[in-house]
Structure 1
Amino acid sequence: MMRRIALCLTSLALASPVWAQGQPQSQSPSKSQQQQQQPSSPASGGSGAPMDLSKMGPWTRKPTNEARTRKEVEAFIKEEDAIMKRRDFEASLARIDFPMFMATDNSQGMPTSESYDRQRYTQIMKPFFDQTPTDMQVNHNLDITVLSDSLVTYTDNYTMTTKGEKRAGRNAGLLVKREGQWKWKAFIEPGWGDPSPTGVGGSGVPQGQDTPKQ
């Protein structure tokens, strides 16, 4: 989308002088006509100067070391698995750049999405986090796209094994780097839009089960 915006701005910048040259020269327009006929400048700063596309846009933020960034992202996701296994919700929260965007769908194919602040995210996600199987093993098959040194998207075709059962799934996400640390910014995974069939108590544990010891 930003590429299309940049192309449109470039076209406007190039077309404006041509448009002006095509105006009749035999009669000097009045001041009001000049104001009405004056073409709008492309996106500009306070000075009214055209945007300098040599100083902004994706071509100015090319990755400097994609291999290193990929390794950092792989390590980040692996560490998240360890955090989930030990049910350290506060550690997980510290790795999120709020607001956090999340999207899923339900068994009827109805998509839902929402942007979560810290409080809302905690309210929704902590009960799930507290039920993370301690024997969970996850194998990731990551397809990482390094947009810049601070923006990364990925898709993950993973397998998860718990209680002897293996399940395969796919998700996607956006990571951002702030002050040298990678953080979650968006997470998309299908299949979580239906109400949970199991009653959950205030501890976040299915009814009838004891709260796990930390």
Structure 2
Amino acid sequence: MIRRITVCLAALVLTSPVWAQDQEHKGAPPAAKGSVTPVDMSKMGPWTRKPTHEAKTRKEVEAWFKEGDAIMKRRDFEADIARADFPIYMATDDSKGIPTAETYDRRKYTEMMKPMFEQIPADTQMNHKLDITVLSDSLVSFTDDYTMTMGGKKKPGRLTGLLVKRDGQWKWKAFFEAGWGEAQTSAVGGSGTSGDQEKPK
């Protein structure tokens, strides 16, 4: 889907009269009517942003999750929210399989998550099994097959998301986890380590 969108956008830009006029102003020969002016695709797209330190990036992301667990354990919401790159995007579905998704700014996320975050049991522990995909040195997607232990009970779950590196720091940009559609006063994101926690049944 992303590749299809990229190709369509490239085609739209290249055939745009504004783009063509801009090229004329730069001294480029005008394109024949109805033709598409060629562009150097080697200077844009994912082939220009290949990871240069993939192993290092993976270690950084693993450390990011461990840091999140420690933050959750001490209920430090300010430290937790500093790990988000607002606006953030969260998606889930309900028991009927109906998906919902929403974008949150800092205020909206704080109002929704802080009361729940502060009630996380002190004995909560997380065990992560991460599948990390390094897209570039500043973009990482992941899937986490985690196990949450709370009150002596273990509950497995799975979430996926997107991390971005902003000003040298990894931050979460999106989280997706199934099953929270019925929740009304708690986070959509689920049981991850960025302020996400188990919802009351």
**TM-score of Structure 1 vs Structure 2, range by shorter chain:** 0.7 to 0.9
TM-score for both structures, normalised by structure 2: 0.76
Secondary structure class of the residue paired with 1:119: helix
Q: 1:162-173 residue pairs with structure 2 within 5 A? A: 162-173=150-161
Q: For the residues of structure 1 that align with 2:146 and 2:2, how far apart are their CA atoms?
A: 31
Q: For the residues of structure 2 that align with 1:44 and 1:183, how far apart are their CA atoms?
A: 39
Name the residue aligned to 1:102.
90
1:62 and 2:50 correspond: yes
Is contact 1:172-1:187 (8 Å) kept?
Answer: yes
Alignment equivalent of 1:191, drawn from 179, 182, 199: 179
| Shift in Å, 1:3 | 2.9
Q: Which 5+ residue runs of structure 1 have no aligned equivalent?
A: 13-38, 198-214
Q: For the residues of structure 1 that align with 2:8 and 2:92, how far apart are their CA atoms?
A: 33
- In structure 2, do the counterparts of structure 1 residues 107 and 3 end up closer, same or farther at CA, with 3 Å as the change threshold? closer
Name the residue aligned to 1:52.
40
- In structure 2, do the counterparts of structure 1 residues 43 and 159 end up closer, same or farther at CA, with 3 Å as the change threshold? farther
- In structure 2, do the counterparts of structure 1 residues 129 and 46 end up closer, same or farther at CA, with 3 Å as the change threshold? farther
- In structure 2, do the counterparts of structure 1 residues 167 and 42 end up closer, same or farther at CA, with 3 Å as the change threshold? farther
TM-score for both structures, normalised by structure 1: 0.72
Map Cα deviations across residues 76-135 of structure 1 (whole Å, 9 max, x no partner).
Answer: 011111111111111111111000100111222221110000000001111221121110
Q: 1:42-191 residue pairs with structure 2 within 5 A? A: 46-47=22-23, 50-191=38-179
Q: Which amino acid aligns with 2:64?
A: F
Q: For the residues of structure 2 that align with 1:141 and 1:57, how far apart are their CA atoms?
A: 30
Q: For the residues of structure 2 that align with 1:45 and 1:132, how far apart are their CA atoms?
A: 59
Q: For the residues of structure 2 that align with 1:43 and 1:144, how far apart are their CA atoms?
A: 38
- In structure 2, do the counterparts of structure 1 residues 5 and 61 end up closer, same or farther at CA, with 3 Å as the change threshold? same
- In structure 2, do the counterparts of structure 1 residues 42 and 52 end up closer, same or farther at CA, with 3 Å as the change threshold? farther
Flag the structure with more relative contact order, 1 or 2, with Cα contacts below 8 A and sequence separation at least 6: 2
Secondary structure class of the residue paired with 1:193: coil
Name the residue aligned to 2:29.
none
Secondary structure class of the residue paired with 1:54: helix
Secondary structure class of the residue paired with 2:22: coil
- In structure 2, do the counterparts of structure 1 residues 9 and 103 end up closer, same or farther at CA, with 3 Å as the change threshold? closer
Q: For the residues of structure 2 that align with 1:45 and 1:56, how far apart are their CA atoms?
A: 21
Q: For the residues of structure 2 that align with 1:162 and 1:56, how far apart are their CA atoms?
A: 47
Q: Which amino acid aligns with 2:3?
A: R
- In structure 2, do the counterparts of structure 1 residues 94 and 55 end up closer, same or farther at CA, with 3 Å as the change threshold? same
Is contact 1:9-1:43 (8 Å) kept?
Answer: no
Is contact 1:42-1:50 (8 Å) kept?
Answer: no
Extract structure 1 runs of 4+ deviating beyond 6 A.
9-12, 41-45
- In structure 2, do the counterparts of structure 1 residues 62 and 164 end up closer, same or farther at CA, with 3 Å as the change threshold? same
Tell me the matched-pair count: 173
| Structure with larger Rg | 1
Percent identity of paired positions between Structure 1 and Structure 2: 65
| Shift in Å, 1:4 | 3.1
